[in-house]
Structure 1
Amino acid sequence: MSSKLVIRQPQPVMDSRESDEWGSGICDCCDDVPGCCFAFWCCPCFACITTKKYGQCLCLPLLDIFGCIPPITMSMRVSMRHRYGIKGTMCKDCVYATFCVACTWCQMSREMKKRNLEIVLVGAKNT
């Protein structure tokens, strides 16, 4: 009887720390028109896809349905600020998450696109 241990590691990424500010404003929808249209018409789907790209559980944003302040949207925004070293406050994150849900998810998606640079591993063996 043999057992096989499978370990799944996250993909290597390098985040560029260009600034301690958001790369775009909360209402800069013209920076990514297709993404913002998708978020406006189907925010739950857009939020789930963005969460998955961020490295979290795909269905996590669906838990926002149960509260008046969307806890997952706020948590993702706070987490992203900490990951990228962006200045801000939890109070501001709470206001944006409560009153500008689609715009908040669009801003986080744009930030991920701007700051995540994939690393190409030379000589890495895929097993």
Structure 2
Amino acid sequence: MSWTVSTQPQRVVVSSDDDWSSGICDCCEDKKQCCFGFWCCPCFACQTTKQFGQCMCLPLIDVLGFVHPITMSIRVSLRHRYGIKGTLCNDCLCSTFCIPCVWCQMATEMKKRELPPVLSSELIHQKTVLP
């Protein structure tokens, strides 16, 4: 018996808007999320990263230095996934100087877009039996 994947995962891009649905300083709109992001940013970043479909421990790498490559990478990836305008320079600046705000903005974006953060495992692992 052998298994093959009948459907390959596809990139999800929806560009109903081409700007962020919230500004970098709009994190206080959701008070609960804002408090969690501010008081326990590493935990909030790990949770958001997991919802985005990546390894939840990735943000812990950012603790090691001044530059935050994981925060910036997730921000760039989210921008590309949802078709949001922006520049790598802006992503780098925000990810370096406004960490809790960036994570709150990304979490808000995923909620407002109301898209599944990743393709369901059912679609990815859909298998057919060959004779």
TM-score when scaled to structure 1? 0.79
Task: Give the counterpart letter for 1:23 in structure 2.
Answer: S
1:60 is aligned to 58
Post-superposition CA distance 1:72-126 (Å, at most 9, x none): 00000000010001010010000000000000000000000011335xxxxxxxx
CA contact (8 A) 2:22 2:109 kept: yes
Residue equivalent to 1:122: none
Match of residue 94 from structure 2: 96
Per chain length, whose mean CA-contact separation is higher, i.e. which structure has more relative contact order (CA < 8 Å, sep 6+)?
2
Structure 1: how far apart are the matches of 2:73 and 2:66?
A: 14
C-alpha distance in 2, partners of 1:82/1:65?
Answer: 25
- TM-score w.r.t. length of structure 2: 0.77
Report the CA distance between 1:15 and its aligned residue. Answer: 6.3
Moved over 2 A (4+): 14-17
The residue that corresponds to 1:36 in the other structure is 34
Whole-angstrom distance in 2 between the partners of 1:29 and 1:79: 20
Give the secondary structure class of the aligned counterpart of 2:80: helix
Gaps of 5+ in 2: 6-11, 117-131
* Deviation at residue 65 of structure 1 after TM alignment: 1.3
Quick check: 1:77–1:93 contact (8 Å CA) kept in 2?
A: yes
Give the aligned residue type for 2:27: C
CA shift for structure 1 position 16: 4.7
| % same residue | 62
CA distance in 2, matches of 1:16, 1:81: 10
Aligned AA for 2:84? I
Aligned CA RMSD, in angstroms, stands at 2.7
* Contact 1:15 1:116 (C-alpha < 8 Å) held by counterparts: no
* Residue in structure 2 matched with residue 112 of structure 1 by the alignment: 110
CA distance in 2, matches of 1:55, 1:25: 23
Q: Which residue of 1 aligns with 2:48?
A: 50
Aligned residues: 117
User: For residues 13-32 of structure 1, what are the structure 2 equivalents within 5 Å?
Assistant: 16-32=14-30
